[in-house]
Structure 1
């Protein structure tokens, strides 16, 4: 009986020592801005993109951003100073700050960590994190350190100075264009028969493109190509196609777009996209194509 008790004590002591050793070697490195250093800023504020940024000392930057699009969108990116060195998962949890005792933490999502890429999260999770911050919770990322297998990393987003910047961010998001660059990068405008007058649909489209060009000054070159159907003389059609292309160029310039950004050419009857034997086909061939490209 005494032997059994002695063995049990030795076993318990061994377990206790094992736990103590593992705890002493497996630490958590915490990265989070304190009350004094926490800053949230609206770093991009235009009708093309809105970005809400938060610096995390010695770690990097957290960024929520939304871009002009026909559908509402939101993304989150954790811009690390030291990128992941392998593939793994980080768990995202909402943690209550010290001044909100008794509130249990909750898991928001898992985030994939890709080798040598800053990790990101999609719309629904990004909005959930913003909602948690608005309620005073700290979204926190937990993952195993890929440079030190004995450590875990905890990266927290502070709620300090969040609300004012968040309200500015939401206002910016609400003012984004409801279309994106991809929606207008390749645009076909059509004209009335034997005319350089736009159809109604084309008028709306050219207004959208002009608005986008006025906002995106980094888009350096816009190509405007004019075409006609095959009715009428070839020389006349060539002239008409040039008039159509130049009309759009003039429209852009009149609305404040730098002329050096617009290159207009006419191609006459060349490059038909439909049959000239039907009214509908000829209408499709009377067109100007606007092409834009980004690096």
Structure 2
């Protein structure tokens, strides 16, 4: 370990005089893992600067972000590197492209591809490095070290395994299809609804469901409206059977009035036989009263 530290010192001593480098001493390196069902974070604090962390949200791959206590480097772009370790001669740095430095606590978020390559590099003994050059020629370099990374990454993977399948942006709305003229939920529809249900149970702030039933134009308008109502009821019954209160659900049915695609062929008509499901966060004082309304031929249109 001492030889590695001396090798690091020799590398940094060879940097230009105007270079400003931030990194934590080898003996003080630590990685922390935090998270829940919605997000996992793998972080290395950087002495006198802030931290570098990998963040993985439910339903997504990880990104890498650099956080600063205050704005120590200017704006513009910086180069992101998976830098070779000084004690492994003959290996070059891997340039992962540029990142845009912003203001505030989080200086940038990398792409998912960049983060994946940084993680691979850390497993191979490489260091994530952010190198920024200012207009006056000053170079700032922020470096994380791979010390103790393997154990921390194993803990991080344990957190990732518990993430929900999707995050709120991905799960908040869905179109539930109905084959033929049916009104029953098939296996695919139930699987989609189960993901939404799991998210609601994990996040109590997501506490309201909007259901809008639709049909194609195959039958007459009264028949189509009734089909759209019964499809919306089938979805509502699924949620109620799984612990969601009817007071948390608003149900509307529209018949053939709002097609997703022109009813000109079988494929388009299949798209229009659906229930649109939308999850919402509603404050208790704003909770809408339960209702079931039709958008055609009723006094209370949606």
- State the shift of 1:85 in Å: 3.4
- Tell me, which stretches of 5 or more residues in structure 1 are unaligned? 1-22
Residue matched to 1:252 = 239
- State the shift of 1:238 in Å: 4.5
Are 2:39 and 1:52 aligned? no
Match of 2:115 among 111, 114, 126: 126
Residue matched to 2:19 = 28
Residue matched to 1:81 = 69
SS in 1 for 2:45: strand
Is residue 213–residue 257 contact of structure 1 (8 Å, CA) maintained in 2?
no
SS in 2 for 1:119: strand
Describe how 1:1-295 pairs up with structure 2 within 5 A: 26-35=17-26, 37-46=28-37, 48-69=38-59, 73-83=61-71, 84-90=73-79, 92-96=81-85, 101=87, 103-104=89-90, 106-109=92-95, 110-116=97-103, 118-144=107-133, 149=136, 151-174=138-161, 176=163, 184-191=171-178, 195-229=182-216, 231=219, 234=222, 238=225, 240-257=227-244, 261-273=248-260, 283-292=270-279
CA distance in 1, matches of 2:264, 2:138: 74
CA distance in 2, matches of 1:198, 1:91: 49
Is residue 32–residue 155 contact of structure 1 (8 Å, CA) maintained in 2?
yes
CA distance in 1, matches of 2:263, 2:90: 71
Closer, same or farther: CA 279–139 of 1 in aligned 2, 3 Å: closer
> Rg: which structure is higher?
1
Closer, same or farther: CA 276–158 of 1 in aligned 2, 3 Å: closer
- What is the count of residue pairs matched by the alignment? 262
CA distance in 2, matches of 1:142, 1:280: 53
SS in 2 for 1:103: coil
Closer, same or farther: CA 277–78 of 1 in aligned 2, 3 Å: closer
Closer, same or farther: CA 287–56 of 1 in aligned 2, 3 Å: same
SS in 2 for 1:153: strand
Q: CA RMSD in A?
A: 3.8
TM (normalized to structure 2)?
0.67
